[in-house]
Amino acid sequence: MANNLYGRRTILTALGALGLGAAGVALNQPAPLSTALDALEALPDADPMPIVFVGHGTPLSAIDPNVWTAQWGEVGRSLPRPKAILSISAHWLTRGASLVTASAMPPMNYDIRGFPQPIYEYRYPAPGNPAVAREIAEALKDGIPVFGDTEWGFDHGTWLVLKYMYPAADIPVLQLSIDFSRPPAFHYELAKRLRGLRSKGILILGSGNVVHNLGERGGTGVTERPRDWAIEFDQRMAKAVTNGDHAQAVNFLSLGTLASQAHPSYDHFLPLLYTLGIAGTEGNVRTFNEGFQWPGISMRGFIYTT
């Protein structure tokens, strides 16, 4: 598939060195929200929320419901209702810092081009929560510079999945960008700082793909011809995740050619590492949506529980 259908994922330079600019806002300032009740510290501790990794696949699923989107809907209905959702999407990459959604009403981000017009007419009008954004920045502050963002909004890694998981769009949603200048192990370790969100009712969603190679197109359903290297990498990672062997997943680049075939650019693998870092190795994990949408696109997802 021609990569231009997906446009260019915005990669920002080091915001701390260059100044915040139009998109960045300091999160140590008072939030626009008038009540502290929206802040995480005001939420009572509860049973930890599950963590979900979703293989999001082609944006065409937004207008063509299929076997994968049906499973996303079932997952959403099976989970406790979250107080907010933090999405870590493969499509928001930054350099030198991370950004977190700081808008009370985040905009739609159609970070793709060349798709049918109905995709660009879809809206996911979920609110944000700037107070929760400040708490996320606080949790990460000793690991990476974090700034608030009011421009990126929801990219298709988020709205495509939540369209089916939570169609009412009545739960606050935030995104956290991925500093793509850092190595994979950094993201796994950074994610551990977000573990406390689970007991505050925050659902953490990683949105990427276990295998993501756009070299061949497919439809929105199940492909009957996944590549051998795609199957091998997918199965290796599934075994590592379900066995709690996080080191194998974190060190996936050591697989050499197999890793580069599965991920010519490994942005879509990093959200999986965030979910692993947050989940740890002590809980339970199950897989869903096993299979391939395109010959090099695995749709496998994971749900982690305590």
Residue 196 in contact with residue 278, Cβ under 8 Å? Answer: no
Mean pLDDT of the chain: 90
Rounded mean pLDDT, 281-294: 97
Rounded Cα distance between 9 and 266, Å, is 13
Sheet holding 51-55, edge to edge: 173-175, 84-89, 202-208, 51-55, 301-305, 284-288
The pLDDT of residue 189 is: 98
Q: What's the pLDDT at 46? A: 80
Asked whether the predicted pLDDT for residue 85 surpasses 70, the reply is yes
Mean pLDDT along residues 1-5: 38
pTM of the model: 0.90
Query: How many Cβ atoms sit within 10 Å of the Cβ of residue 143?
Result: 16
* Burial tier of 232 (Cβ tally within 10 Å: 0-12, 13-18, 19+): middle
Condensed to tens digits (0 to 9), the pLDDT of residues 105-118 reads 999 999 999 999 99
The yes-or-no verdict on residue 31 having pLDDT over 50 is no
For residue range 238-256, what is the model confidence (pLDDT) as tens digits? 999 999 999 999 999 999 9
Per-residue pLDDT, 37: 40
Closest CA to 65 of 220, 289, 288: 220
Residue 276 pLDDT exceeds 50: yes
For position 45, what pLDDT does the model report? 76
Provide the token pair at 111.
């970070």
The residue behind tokens 């421009």 is 151
Q: Render the burial of 6-33: b for 16+ CB within 10 Å, e for the rest.
A: beebbbbeebeeeeeeebbbebeeebeb
Per-residue pLDDT tens over the stretch 201-251: 999 999 999 999 999 999 999 998 999 999 999 999 999 999 999 999 999
CB-based contacts of 88, cutoff 8 Å, min separation 6: 175, 176, 178, 204, 205, 206, 207, 270, 271, 274, 275
pLDDT at 36: 35
**Does residue 72 surpass a pLDDT of 50?**
yes
Would you call 198 helix, strand, or coil by DSSP?
Answer: helix
**Per-residue confidence at 25, pLDDT binned at 50, 70, 90?**
low
Q: Kindly tell me if the per-residue pLDDT of 13 is higher than 90.
A: no
Phi-psi region of 289 (alpha: psi -120 to 50; beta: other; left: phi over 0): left
Looking from the CA of 23 toward its CB, the CA atoms found within 13 Å total 22
Q: Which of 123, 270, 102 is nearest to 186 (CA)?
A: 270
**Nearest Cα to 304, choosing from 73, 79, 24, 34?**
79
| Per-residue pLDDT at 145 exceeds 50 | yes
Cα–Cα dist 49/195, whole Å: 10
Mean pLDDT of 7-16: 45
